[in-house]
Amino acid sequence: MTVKIGIPRGLWFYDYFPLWKTFYEELGAEVIISSPTNKQILDLGTKNTVDEACLPVKIFHGHVLNLKDKVDYIFVPKVMSVYEKEYICPKFCGLPEMVRNSIPNLPPFIDIEINFNKSRKGLKRTIYKFGSYVTKNPIKIFRAYDKALKAYEDYKEKVRYGHLPLDGHINEVLRQKRIKIPGEMKIAVLGHSYNVFDNYGSMNLINKLMENKIDVVVPEMLDMNEINKFADQLPKKMFWSFGRKLLGSAMYLADRKDIDGIIFLSSFGCGIDSIIEDLSERRARRDAEIPYLLITIDEHTGEAGVNTRLEAFLDMIEWRKRNESDLSAHGQPICWH
């Protein structure tokens, strides 16, 4: 009988789902992904987790409930580290325990620890443990992992070249342009992938920008070597992997100065975001004079309010582009008589 494995459409899903989906399908399992985020999923998650949890964690709980009666196992790994000498957000580390203690009568979890601070031998054991839920054959497991790694690299390359994985799906139509057209607006959207690419959670932000014929840039489209180079300029190493990527992206974009504005999409109550957002804003506004908008989201955020702020931000950038030739070097209007 085919093993059914459920993958919740939240948190690490937007970064790694092609890897795990391909891995388990190559082993012969049926992979079931939860539905795209909607009001019902958010409401379920909000009711079944602690009030202090951030919006992405509440959404994740809703996705687990969406899968509850459909699968044999639910994929909720304990993600500790995805780069050497760096760590992941604490909510990832304790996610299996948090979900298990919040929602009763769930199917068994695939909750193996992922920790890149361990030896290569330890990582191989981890891969085998993940595969052992479907087969005990190590040759099949590592062959499936090689194919999954290839699918993951292909996915990253597509995103790098502008295919945005909204709700986790690569849409060939939604490819962003790599070359800026004169007069066109180019906006960077900074934020964790699970905020930016979740259409419902982000209030459909990416689609709204594209409907306004705006070229959108996200951190996943930038050169990781450049991101790391700028992040290394910090006085102290940023050991939160996701935070390092966002801050390095902000510093890189501020240095390039080829974008018209930055939107930082943050979850209310996210401790890491509160630090990264402030540092990013300082770099963008002080060093590069790039217009900057912070949008903070939680389960109470109204779309109308977000729309109003977004429209005002875009109008301000458009006004600035039209009138920048009428400003002196000190920012005072030049009047011709």
Whether residue 165 lies inside any domain: the answer is no
Strand partners, 26: none
| 287 lies in some domain | yes
Side-chain half-sphere of 234: how many Cα atoms within 13 Å? 21
Does residue 171 sit within a domain?
no
Q: Which pLDDT value is given to residue 100?
A: 92
pLDDT at residue 337 tops 70: no
For 32, the token pair is 């079931």
Q: Are residues 97 and 32 in the same domain?
A: yes
Give the model confidence (pLDDT) of 68-102 as tens digits: 999 999 999 998 888 777 788 878 788 899 999 99
pLDDT of 263 higher than 60? yes
The predicted pLDDT at position 119 comes to 66
Per-range mean pLDDT, top range of 3-12, 76-85, 316-325 = 3-12
262-294 residues labelled b (16+ CB within 10 A) or e (exposed): bbbbbbeebebbeebbebbbebbeeebebbbbb
Q: What is the mean pLDDT of residues 172-185?
A: 53
- Judgement on whether residues 116 and 147 belong to the same structural domain of the protein: yes
Domain boundary among 131, 160, 189: 160
Residues 319, 261, single domain; the answer is: yes
Whether residues 185 and 77 share a domain: the answer is no
44 pLDDT tier (thresholds 50, 70, 90): very high
Whether residue 204 lies inside any domain: the answer is: yes
117 and 247 housed in the same domain: no
The pLDDT of residue 213 is 85
Is 140 in the same domain as 202?
Answer: no
Same domain flag for 114 and 211: no
This prediction has a pTM of 0.87
In this predicted structure, the answer to whether residue 27 has a pLDDT above a threshold of 90 is yes
3-state SS of 63-116? Answer: HHHHHCCCCCEEECCEEEECCCCCECCHHHHCHHHHHHHHCCCCCCEECCEEEC
Tell me, what's the pLDDT at 170?
59
Is residue 188 in a domain? Answer: yes
Are residues 213 and 288 part of one domain? yes
**Domain boundary pick from 102, 126, 160:** 160
E strands, the chain, where?
Answer: 4-7, 30-33, 73-75, 78-81, 109-110, 113-115, 186-190, 215-217, 261-267, 292-297
CATH number at residue 85: 3.40.50.11890
Q: For 113-127, 157-171, 306-320, which range has the lowest pLDDT when averaged over its residues?
A: 157-171
Per-residue confidence (pLDDT) for residue 94, from 0 to 100:
86
* Residue pLDDT, tens place only, 112-158: 988 877 766 788 899 999 999 999 999 999 999 999 999 999 999 98
pLDDT at residue 318, as a whole number: 85
Last residue of a domain, one of 160, 186, 215: 160
Domains identified in the chain, total number? 2
Q: How many angstroms from the chain centroid is the CA of residue 272?
A: 14
- pLDDT (0 to 100) of residue 324: 65
Query: Structural domain of residue 96, as residue ranges?
Result: 4-160
How much is the pLDDT for 242?
86
| More confident of the two residues 301 and 25 | 25
Same domain, 128 and 205: no
Is residue 220 within 8 Å of residue 193, measured between CB atoms? yes
- The residue ranking higher by pLDDT, 272 or 106, is 106
The CATH number assigned to the domain holding 309 equals 3.40.50.11900
- Residues 22 and 115 placed together within one structural domain of the fold: yes
Question: What pLDDT is recorded for position 334?
Answer: 45
- What are the pLDDT digits (tens) for 221-236? 999 999 999 988 888 8
| pLDDT surpassing 70 at residue 239 | yes
Does a structural domain hold residue 152? yes
Based on the fold, state whether residues 278 and 200 are members of the same structural domain: yes
The verdict on 11 and 154 lying in the same domain is yes
In a domain, residue 170? The reply is: no
pLDDT of 29 over the 80 cut: yes
